[in-house]
Homo-oligomer: A and B are copies of this chain.
Amino acid sequence: MKIRVVIPSITREFEALGLEQYSPCARPGTEISVTLLNSGPASIESRYDEAVAVPDIVSKVVAAEKDGVDAVIIDCMADPGLDAAREMVSIPVVGPAETAMHVASMLGHRFSVITILDQLAPLFDRHAAKMGVVERLASVRAVNIPVLELDDSERVVKALIEQSVKAVKEDGAHVIVFGCTGMIGLAGEVKKGLVEQGIVDVPVIDPGMLAVKVAEALADLGLSHSKRTYPTPPEKEIVGY
């Protein structure tokens, strides 16, 4: 099986990094490939960043289908371009936020999202509302570290643990969901940090890794999004894309 990860960024070093981070999630026989954007932002931290990333995200998803991959993951917790991309292809396109919020709702009573910046809280709240799981969202908290500084993983882990403990103790979270796919691979350490603080009973969801598993599951089953919800757009003149 072939899975393509579309990283919605023009930052070159994310290509090797993404491959390194995503490959261990794949099961034997699943081949991960990674693609960056040619046009778009260095990182996504606002709806404007999202807006200028989406057109090339969609073209990368279209290219992935032409390349014969079995499923695509959009590597960002804003799920940028998810709807538009699904209109343009038939293969499954997996949004880490959509997936993680639904799975979190299955695993426990209430979940908290720990994201990068405070100002992104309304985004998650509305995303959860759109999906119908807003009653299950205990809180949105932030480590307040920008995407491009997430490579300092020690600092990130420490901040994630701190906010996760607060989410559990103050907000009533029963499940923790990372709020940025740039936090991929840190669930083990965060879980360990929670246990050290006596919180032994709270799962930690790494949306990037979960997206790989769900992509594999959908592809195995031959399931994809409904083209009745995401119909192929009518043909028309488009300038600049």
Q: Give A contacts to B, CB under 8 Å.
A: 10, 27-29, 37-43, 45-52, 54-56, 58, 81, 83-84, 87-88, 95, 98-99, 102-103, 105-110, 119, 122, 125-126, 129-136, 146, 148, 168, 174-175, 200-203, 205-206, 209-210, 213-214, 216-218, 220-221, 223-231, 233-234, 236-241
Contact = CB atoms under 8 A, between A and B. Distances in A.
5 contacts: A41-B237, A42-B238, A45-B236, A108-B230, A201-B231
Given A39-B241, A226-B108, A226-B202, A48 B174 contact: no
Contacts of A105: 102, 131-132
Contacts of A133: 132-133
Contact of A233 (B49, B102, B218, B239): B49
A73 to B, nearest CB: 13
Contacts of A38: 239-240
A151 to B, nearest CB: 16
Given A10-B237, A129-B129, 15 more contacts: A38-B240, A39-B241, A42-B238, A43-B236, A46-B234, A52-B238, A102-B106, A106-B131, A108-B226, A108-B229, A119-B228, A174-B228, A201-B227, A210-B221, A214-B217
Contacts of A109: 122, 125-126, 226, 228-229
Contacts of A43: 236
A97 to B, nearest CB: 11
Nearest to A80: B51
A108 B48 CA distance: 17
